[in-house]
Amino acid sequence: MDKARLIDKLNEAIALELCGVLQYNQYAQVLLGQDRKIWKSVFTDSSDESLGHARLFAERVVALGGHPTCEPTAVKQTTDVKEMLRNAVDHEKRAVAVYKEALDAAEGNVAYCNILEDQIDEETRDYEEFLLYLGEVDKASGAGGASASKAG
């Protein structure tokens, strides 16, 4: 296990999760009309889930002897629901990629590998669900999850 790299990668993930807290919450608040009825709970749940992930990995960073970040990555603002969903796909894809990098840094530590494999599974399902909301599927990744090389 490369502890310093793992702390760095987990902090990257925490910054993304904190962005997710704010971005998904903002989307839930600004929606109007029928879109609000359909999507408000989806984005509220995603915001809550992101906070849970940020807390989980902040605890792990402290346990590793590091200092968890409290700075989110940049929020992408929009009032267009299709753009919200596209941003969500990009966000979840990036999360899968960062957790895969963290998994690579954790190699040899069974406990951290298990936590990160579960996390990659969860983020991949979120990514795929948002893609399905857009009427799309990720033909490149199949059951293995979002491709790290395509993260952006």
Q: Which stretch binds Fe ion (CB under 5 A): 50-58, 64-72, 83-91, 103-111?
A: 50-58
Closest to Fe ion by CB, 16 vs 105, is 16
Q: Which of 97, 55, 90 is nearest to 74 (CA)?
A: 90
Minimum gap (Å) between residue 32 Cβ and Fe ion:
27
Separation between Cα atoms, residue 139 and residue 28, nearest integer Å: 29
Does residue 91 bind Fe ion (CB under 5 A)?
no
Residues in the interface with Fe ion (CB under 5 A) total: 1
DSSP 31: -
Does residue 53 bind Fe ion (CB under 5 A)?
yes
Minimum gap (Å) between residue 135 Cβ and Fe ion:
23
Closest to Fe ion by CB, 55 vs 82, is 55
Q: Which stretch binds Fe ion (CB under 5 A): 3-11, 47-55, 129-137, 144-152?
A: 47-55
- Longest CA–CA separation in the chain, Å: 51
Separation between Cα atoms, residue 135 and residue 131, nearest integer Å: 6
Closest to Fe ion by CB, 7 vs 95, is 95
Q: Is 142 left (phi over 0), alpha (psi -120 to 50) or beta?
A: left
In sequence order, what are the residues at sequence separation of 6 or more whose Cβ sits closer than 8 angstroms to the Cβ of residue 151? 93, 94, 96, 97, 98
Does residue 9 bind Fe ion (CB under 5 A)?
no
Tell me which residues touch Fe ion (CB under 5 A): 53
